[in-house]
């Protein structure tokens, strides 16, 4: 890293990676510390909703997610006996969002996309196999 770290983020999950990207884009030196040896592939969430897609679009992430996901313009809830119970057509909110649909895309893809994007910033890094405790002072090995 070219700058002294200004912000340390604990965890390279979806929230940690998004916050890291926001800070890096703002020119703030950031290090994301992750206890695992790599990004976690077992993240279970798989749906991105319109407001989330709008926010991620401001960071340049949404088009990359769309490339790896499935756009779902309508959502149906069904009952085995009754059949269709409810249907939500996201076209009804197209005047309120740039993304009037849900995107089916596993969250581990989000963290991988952002990790790649963070490589563009010399003042941002993700360090793996780092364990934080409740101590106020954090000591961890730096990349050379």
Beta bridge partners of 46: none
Composition of the chain by helix, strand, coil, percent to 5: 30, 25, 45
Across 100-127, average pLDDT: 97
Domains of the chain: 1-42+107-144 (3.50.50.60), 46-105 (no CATH)
pLDDT band at 137 (very low <50, low <70, confident <90, very high): low
Q: What is the CA radius of gyration of the chain?
A: 18
38 closest CA partner among 20, 64, 12, 61: 12
Cα distance from N-terminal residue to C-terminal residue, the chain: 9
**pTM score of the predicted model:** 0.85
The string of pLDDT tens digits covering residues 9-68 is 999 999 999 999 999 999 999 999 999 999 988 877 889 999 999 999 999 999 999 999
């Amino acid at each position: 890293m070219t700058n002294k770290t200004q912000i340390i983020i604990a965890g390279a999950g979806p929230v940690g990676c998004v916050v890291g990207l926001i800070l890096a884009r703002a020119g703030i030196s950031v290090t994301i510390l992750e206890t695992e040896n790599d990004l976690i592939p077992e993240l279970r969430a798989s749906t991105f909703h319109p407001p989330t897609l709008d926010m991620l679009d401001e960071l340049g992430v949404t088009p990359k997610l769309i490339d790896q996901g499935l756009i779902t313009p309508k959502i149906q809830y069904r009952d085995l006996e009754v059949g269709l119970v409810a249907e939500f057509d996201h076209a009804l909110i197209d005047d309120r969002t740039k993304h009037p649909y849900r995107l089916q895309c596993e969250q581990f893809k989000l963290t991988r996309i952002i990790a790649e994007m963070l490589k563009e910033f010399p003042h941002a890094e993700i360090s793996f196999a780092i364990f934080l405790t409740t101590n106020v002072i954090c000591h961890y090995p730096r990349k050379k």
